[in-house]
Amino acid sequence: MIDTSDFRNGIGIIVDGEIYQIIEFQHVKPGKGGAFVRTRLKNLRTGAVLERTFRAGERMEQAILERKPLTYLYGQNGEYIFMDMETFEQVPIPATLLGDRVKYLKEDTEVQALTHEDRIIGAELPFFMEFEVVETDPGLRGDTASGGSKPAKLETGAVVQVPLFINIGDRIRVDTRTDTYLERAK
């Protein structure tokens, strides 16, 4: 059991039978009345973010979250198969636990699996990844980096907005958290 004075960003807690990760918290002591802690929590099963207020000193159960590196192998029947690099065991993870970032999975991508009591409850892809552009409108003479943008389909099937000078075959870096183009890859 932990109380609100033990809150730290990234710590896992169990609230109403669900596992949440603390995204941010703020201890508030108003001039009148008791102190409280305002938090933003991420549900690790659904990915939903909610704001919740706790009274100062309120106790709850801590969810011990462990991270384990897994390497993506292939997808089949709505499940994605990963390999545990320590035991070489193949681990299936349902698409629902990966969320919409599954569109960035490609072979040999290393992800961080979140486990609670030896059960996988989610997986985090790398924040920045490189992809090859397989489909986009051709760039025209005079297109500049500060011009507009156009959609580009990546090797995994994901679509991101890229500058007009990006062409088919170019390798680009993408922020997988925000679905945004960062730069050309070298």
Average pLDDT estimate for 14-18: 85
Q: How far is CA 183 from the centre of its chain?
A: 20
- Residues 127-161: tens digit of each pLDDT: 888 898 888 887 665 555 556 788 889 888 888 88
pLDDT by residue (tens digit) across 1-11? Answer: 888 888 888 78
Determine how β-strand 12-15 pairs with β-strand 18-28: antiparallel
The H or E element that residue 97 is part of is helix 95-98
Position 50 pLDDT exceeds 60: yes
Which structural domains are found in the chain, ordered by start?
2-63 (2.30.30.30), 66-124 (2.40.50.140), 128-184 (2.40.50.140)
Return d(Cα 163, Cα 151) in angstroms, integer: 9
Rounded distance between C-alpha atoms, residue 130 and residue 144, angstroms: 22
Please work out, in degrees rounded to the nearest 5, the angle formed at the alpha carbon of residue 99 by the alpha carbons of 88 and 168: 90
**Could you tell me what percent of the chain has a pLDDT over 90?**
2
Q: Give the model confidence (pLDDT) of 74-115 as tens digits.
A: 888 878 888 988 888 888 888 777 777 788 888 888 888 888
Both ends of the chain: CA-CA distance in Å? 49
Average confidence score pLDDT of the chain: 83
When pLDDT is averaged across residues 63-79 and rounded to a whole number, the result is: 85
DSSP per residue, 105-126: --TT-EEEEEEETTEEEEEE--
